[in-house]
Chains A and B, each alone.
Chain A
Amino acid sequence: MNHRLLSLLLGAWACMLLPMAGHADPVRIGSKQFTESVILGELARASARQVGIDAVHKRQLGGTRILWRALLQGDIDVYPEYTGTLTHELLKNVPANADIPTLRARLKPLGIGITDSLGFNNTYAIGMRADEAKRLGIARISDLRRHSGLRFGFSNEFMDRNDGWPGLRRRYDLPQKDVRGMDHALAYRALASGAVDAIDLYSTDAEIPYYHLRTLDDDLHYFPRYEAVYLYRLQLEQSAPRFVAALNRLAGRIDEQAMRGMNARVKLQGVEEGVVAADFLGLRADADGHPELWSRLLQRTLEHTKLVLISLGLAVLLAIPLGVLAARLRRFGQIVIGLTGILQTVPSLAMFVFMIPLFGIGAWPAIAALFLYSLLPIVRNTHAGLVGIAPELSESAAALGLPPGVRLRRVELPLATRSILAGIKTAAVINVGTATLAALIGAGGYGQPILTGIRLDDIGLILEGAVPAALLALIVQGMFEGIERWLTPRGLRLVARQ
Chain B
Amino acid sequence: MTLTRVALQDSESATTSAFAIRQVSKRYGSVMAVDNLSLDFEAGTTTALIGSSGSGKSTVLRLLLGLEWPDRGTVSIGGHPLEPGQVLQLRRRVGYVIQEGGLFPHLTAQGNLALLPHYLGWDAARIGQRTKELAELTHLPLAALERYPAELSGGQRQRVALMRGLMADPDALLLDEPLGALDPIVRYELQDELKRIFAELNKTVILVTHDLPEAAWFAERLVLMRKGAVIQDGCFEDLRDHPADAFVARFVAAQRQLPRVPR
Contact = CB atoms under 8 A, between A and B. Distances in A.
Interface residues of B, number: 26
Interface string A400-414: 111100100011001
Contacts of B90: 401
Interface in A455-498: 489-492, 494-495, 497-498
Contact of B104 (A415, A490, A498): A415
B157 interface: no
Interface in B78-104: 88-92, 94, 96, 98, 100, 102-104
Contact of B151 (A397, A411, A489, A494): A494
Contact of B150 (A397, A398, A498): A498
B107 A401 contact: no
A182 to B, nearest CB: 55
A299 interface: no
Interface residues of A, number: 25
B180 interface: no
Nearest to B107: A491
A399 B115 CA distance: 12
Contact of B119 (A406, A414, A489, A494): A406
B105 A495 contact: yes
B67 interface: yes
A400 B67 CA distance: 11
A64 to B, nearest CB: 56
A400 B105 contact: no
Nearest to A489: B106
A395 interface: yes
Q: Is the interface of A mostly helix, strand, loop or mixed?
A: helix
A97 interface: no
Contact of A489 (B100, B107, B115, B116): B107
A403 to B, nearest CB: 6
A402 B119 contact: yes
Contact of A491 (B88, B100, B108): B108
B6 to A, nearest CB: 11
B149 interface: yes
A414 B150 CA distance: 16
B119 A411 contact: no
A393 interface: yes
A414 B116 contact: no
Interface in A77-97: none
Interface in A98-144: none
B151 A400 contact: no
A392 interface: yes
Contacts of A497: 150
A396 interface: yes
B75 interface: no
A395 B102 contact: yes
A167 to B, nearest CB: 66
A392 B116 contact: no
Given A399-B65, A415-B104, A495 B116 contact: no
Interface of A: 392-393, 395-403, 406, 410-411, 414-415, 417, 489-492, 494-495, 497-498
Nearest 4 CB-CB pairs, A to B? Answer: A396-B102, A489-B106, A401-B91, A491-B148
30 contacts: A392-B100, A392-B102, A393-B104, A393-B105, A396-B96, A396-B104, A397-B104, A397-B115, A398-B91, A399-B67, A399-B96, A400-B96, A400-B115, A401-B89, A402-B119, A411-B104, A411-B115, A414-B106, A415-B105, A415-B106, A489-B105, A489-B106, A491-B104, A491-B105, A491-B106, A491-B148, A491-B150, A494-B105, A494-B148, A497-B150
